[in-house]
Amino acid sequence: MNSLLKRQLKKYLEKGDDINNESLLKAVSESYDNYEDQIAMLGRAMKISSDELFQANKQLREEAISLKDINTNLKAILSSMNLELENGSDSKDFNLLEYIKKQSLEIVKMNKQREKLLQNLEQQNQSLNEYAHMVSHDLKAPLRSIDALINWFIVDNRDKLNENNKESLDLILMNVEKMDLLITGILSYSSIDKEKTENRVVDLNVLLKETINALVFPDHVSIVINENMPKVLGNNFRFKQLFQNLIHNAINFSDKEQSLIEVDFTEKPNEYEFRIKDNGIGIPKKYHDQIFIIFNKLENNTKSTGIGLSIAKKIVESYGGRIWVESKEGLGSVFYFTISRDHGATKY
């Protein structure tokens, strides 16, 4: 029997009262179970993007009010039933079973409406994701054309270009590349919580080796990685994207003749805490929160698109974790993030 129903029966019925209408109590219990199922459905709704989730929550709140009224009516009926039983009446005189069945049918109907709403929202998310990919392709096509034309022009007119001409053309190519990275970053950011990804056991030792091989390290930058990184349950591409963005950020802010990046972790009871440490230029305290907001970046950083750290934050939060930075200007930075063990991290 539903635990909430048990508590309410104890509250409204005197000790010693015997109710043998098993089918009635079963119907009441099922109604309470259906009410609790409403709460469980909120977990599914959290996968929906925030704007659409607002509309879903609006309807769910209306349903919750209706269910609250039902619960109030049940309490009143149980209280009334207790009063009648005290006066010697037979519990069969009450039409509670019919009332509960009617309310149960209403709940089933509302459940079906909610399922349809969630299904429609998921379809809209898919359409938005497909549209984002299409727009990304349409924006990148002219950039590729500009890049090709500039490079052809440089090759065909190499002997005719002076240094100022070459610098101007190189600046155009650099900005084309930056725009391409910006579009890719926006697409990646928008799709993190919309694409359905398959979770697998990811060996972070292997993943970090692949990530390092894919990055370009200047001669003055070296990296040290803990050789006993854990295995976690998740999407290989997302974890690679997370570490790549944080390590690439450390490379960009390496200003020492001998720059060092360290990747390590600490195993805690409920989570893994990872850290990427560098001895670079450091980050002023006023930027510690802003740098994780999309398109926000340091004032003196012209290379950054302002998306990498926001992507890292979104990935970490999708795994139930947190991300933050500890840094002092001129003394380097340490980026921390956690992955909840309950969310899927596994022993290594």
Domain residue spans of the chain: 3-126, 128-191, 200-346
Tokens 């056991």 locate to 201
Q: What integer pLDDT is reported at residue 264 of this predicted model?
A: 95
Q: What integer pLDDT is reported at residue 217 of this predicted model?
A: 87
Q: Please give the structure tokens belonging to residue 13.
A: 């019925």
Average pLDDT over residues 8-24: 54
Whether residue 199 has pLDDT greater than 70: yes
Q: Please give the structure tokens belonging to residue 157.
A: 């007119």
What does the pLDDT look like over 289-325, one tens digit per residue? Answer: 888 887 776 655 556 667 788 888 988 988 889 999 9
Whether residue 158 has pLDDT greater than 90: no
Question: Does residue 28 contact residue 103 with C-beta atoms inside 8 Å?
Answer: no
Average pLDDT over residues 173-187: 68
Distances from the Cα of 65 to the Cα of 32, 37, 38, 58, 112, angstroms: 15, 15, 12, 11, 17
Within 10 A of 67 (CB to CB), how many other CB atoms are there? Answer: 18
pLDDT band at 108 (very low <50, low <70, confident <90, very high): confident
Cα(290)–Cα(7) distance, integer angstroms: 49
Cα(108)–Cα(106) distance, integer angstroms: 5
Decide which of 215 and 203 is more confident. Answer: 203
**345 half-sphere exposure, CB direction, 13 A CA radius:** 24
Q: What is the mean pLDDT of the chain?
A: 73
Question: Does residue 235 contact residue 248 with C-beta atoms inside 8 Å?
Answer: no
Cα(242)–Cα(347) distance, integer angstroms: 20
What distance lies between CA 334 and its chain's CA centroid? 23
Scanning the chain, the segments in alpha helix (DSSP H) are 3-12, 22-45, 50-86, 96-156, 163-191, 204-214, 236-252, 308-318
What does the pLDDT look like over 27-50, one tens digit per residue? Answer: 555 555 555 555 455 455 545 555
Q: What integer pLDDT is reported at residue 208 of this predicted model?
A: 93
Decide which of 12 and 244 is more confident. Answer: 244
The CATH code of domain 200-346 reads 3.30.565.10
What distance lies between CA 346 and its chain's CA centroid? 19
Whether residue 57 has pLDDT greater than 70: no
Beta bridge partners of 263: 225, 276
Report the sign of the C-alpha dihedral through residues 198, 204, 206, 210, in that order: positive
Within 10 A of 154 (CB to CB), how many other CB atoms are there? Answer: 15
Predicted TM-score (pTM) of this structure: 0.53
Q: What integer pLDDT is reported at residue 134 of this predicted model?
A: 62
Question: Does residue 271 contact residue 338 with C-beta atoms inside 8 Å?
Answer: yes
What does the pLDDT look like over 252-283, one tens digit per residue? Answer: 888 888 889 999 999 998 889 999 999 988 88
Burial of 64 (C-beta count, 10 Å sphere; 0-12/13-18/19+):
middle
